[in-house]
Amino acid sequence: MAGHSKFKNIMYRKGAQDAKRSRLFSKLAREITTAAKAGNPDPAFNPRLRAVIASAKAASMPKENIERALKKAEGNEAESYEEIRYEGFGPGGVALIVEALTDNRNRTATEVRTAFAKNGGTIGAPGSVAHGFDRLGLISYPAAAGSAEAVFEAALEAGAADVESDAEGHSIWTAPEALHDVARALEAALGEPEGAKLAWRPRSSTRVGLEDARLLMRLIEALEDSDDVQAVYGNHELADEVADAL
């Protein structure tokens, strides 16, 4: 009986992981199509498209999925998606920026507002949060790419602005306009990155206790469960003991 229960639990977790992976591929495909429609469909001449394809490859998105998303843009078969940014506050006063791509503004607004309302957050007015963040290029590498010192040296040589390294990996920050040149230089030194994109980096952080952190994680998960939400950025900081308890 216990073995059967354990098997069901494993299958449940696998099903949840598969659903999350499928949702990620769907979001990446939407971003690829949107980037291709907004600019040149050739990644060599479209920095935004080149960056999202790099992220798709890093996420192990099948090549045929990437090609299908590109063909949709070339054939003008794709829906027209609108880029929307929401700003708000999560538990503990954490500032959050939510980026979405949607073909139905009302649906997305309802989903985002519901996620905030049910998980201890509040939606803010446009500009209420963004002033506390910088819009920068972000290139991500796994920890296995090299030591913190080696990655820092490579990033410095490539023209990056800053590097953050921990046990999870390396985050390399650049000026927005330098993202693709730095990414190309780093690829020659460190291999293909896990991701390369424009992102929001907080100028200061908000320390969050355990109860607020649990609520905050539920809020972020609820937002990311929306097919329309592409990314969620926050200025939260978790102490080691809080992170270990989650």
Q: How confident is the model over 26-44, as pLDDT tens digits?
A: 999 999 998 888 888 888 8
Q: What's residue 57's pLDDT?
A: 86
Tell me which of 147-151, 176-180, 199-203 is least confident: 176-180
With contact defined as beta carbons under 8 Å apart, do 171 and 179 qualify? no
For the chain, which residues make up each domain, given as ranges?
2-74, 81-246
* pLDDT (average), residues 221-242: 92
Token look-up 């429609």 returns 37
Rg (CA), the chain: 19
Give me the percent of the chain exceeding a pLDDT of 70: 91
Q: How many Å is the maximal CA-CA distance in the chain?
A: 59
Q: What's residue 42's pLDDT?
A: 87
**3 has pLDDT over 90:** no
210 burial via Cβ count (<10 Å: 0-12, 13-18, 19+): middle
Tell me the CA distances in angstroms from 245 to 114, 177, 209, 234, 238, one per residue in order: 27, 39, 11, 20, 10
* Dist. CA 165–CA 148, nearest whole Å: 6
Residue 205: pLDDT band (50, 70, 90) is: very high
* Dist. CA 238–CA 211, nearest whole Å: 11
| Identical fold, 2-74 and 81-246 | no
Tell me the CA distances in angstroms from 15 to 25, 41, 156, 190, 223, one per residue in order: 15, 34, 42, 33, 19
**14 has pLDDT over 70:** no
Residue 11: pLDDT band (50, 70, 90) is: very low
**66 has pLDDT over 60:** yes
Q: What's residue 17's pLDDT?
A: 62
The CATH topology of domain 2-74 is Arc Repressor Mutant, subunit A (1.10.10)
* pLDDT (average), residues 183-206: 90
Q: What is the CATH number of domain 81-246?
A: 3.30.70.980
**51 has pLDDT over 50:** yes
